[in-house]
Structure formats: C-alpha cells, structure tokens
Amino acid sequence: MNRFRYCVLVLLPLTISTSLLASQNDAKNKQKSDDSERIRLEKEVASKLLDVVLVGRYSKTDTEGEKTSKPDRYEIVKVTKVNNDYWVFYYRRSPDLVLPITLKVLWAGDTPMITMANEAIPGLGTFSVRLLFHGNRYAGTWQHGPVGGHMWGRIEKKKQSEDTKQKGESK
C-alpha cells in the first residue's frame, strides 16, 4: 500500500503538470491561429475596400417617423489599419477632396463593423453609426443629432470610366 501511495504522490503531480502544459500549448496555438485568421480577415477587408463605391439607399427617421429611402453613394479610395481597432478610411468627398477619417472597426466573428458613438467628423458634423460589411453588401444605422435612419447597399469596384470622368470634371 505504501508503494501505491508513493506512486500516486509522484505520478499525480506529473500528470497534472503535463496536462496543464498541454492546455497552455493548446491555448497558445489557438491564439496564434486566431491572430493569423484576424490578419487574413484584415487584409481581405483592405483589399475589398480598395477603390470602391458604396452604392445604396438611406432612410431618415425623425419625430414624424420613417421617411421614404433615397439613393446614397460613398466613394472609398482605400482603408488602412493604423492600430488595434482603428482604421483610416480615405473617403472621396469630391473629385479633388479625399478626407482621411479614422474609424473604430470591431468584429462580429468574420464580419467587420464600423462603430461611432457621437463622434465628430470635421466639416460634416457629429455622428453615431453602426455599419456592417458582409460579402459585397453593407447595412447599418446612423444618427446625426435628432435625425437618424438606416443605410444599406452594395460594395462595387470603382469603374475605370469613373476615374476618367472625375479627372475630366476636375480640370
């Protein structure tokens, strides 16, 4: 019996420590896998939002209720991750004006979401936004003071003819 107790006392801590080391290694490997997956997703988003136009509709909701939707269009020149959850979106406001706007991007699994909470965009105002990008579509909500609403549409690659047309208009 003493020999059995001795074996248990020696082997039990070894078994526990081996199990703990295996768990730690599994956690490290999962973290590396998660990190590489996030890097892949971030590269995919940067590529997807290179020279695109968000073409869709927006609605307004105010004290009188939801209004009929209207056409909406945003030209994105490119997006660049700057640190942690922050990205710079280069938004073309006019043929000669590209605004760099730093926005927080959070992830719902593999889906990126722009999130703003009463944040000022110089020259445009203060906004709250939640905007998801999924496949070749976007959808979300927006708030600008007492007026807010919904926005949705497609992500389209900018056509070469649009570049030529804009250059001709800006001369």
Mean pLDDT along residues 86-111: 93
Q: What is the distance between the alpha carbons of residues 54 and 75, in angstroms, rounded to a whole number?
A: 6
Q: Is the pLDDT of residue 89 over 60?
A: yes
Q: What is the distance between the alpha carbons of residues 109 and 124, in angstroms, rounded to a whole number?
A: 31
Q: Check residue 102 and give its pLDDT.
A: 93
Q: Check residue 40 and give its pLDDT.
A: 94
Q: Check residue 60 and give its pLDDT.
A: 93
**Cβ-based neighbour number of residue 58 at 10 Å:** 17
**CATH class for the domain made up of 49-170:** mainly beta
Q: Is the pLDDT of residue 171 over 50?
A: no
Domain residue extents for the chain: 49-170
Of residues 163 and 94, more confidently modeled: 94
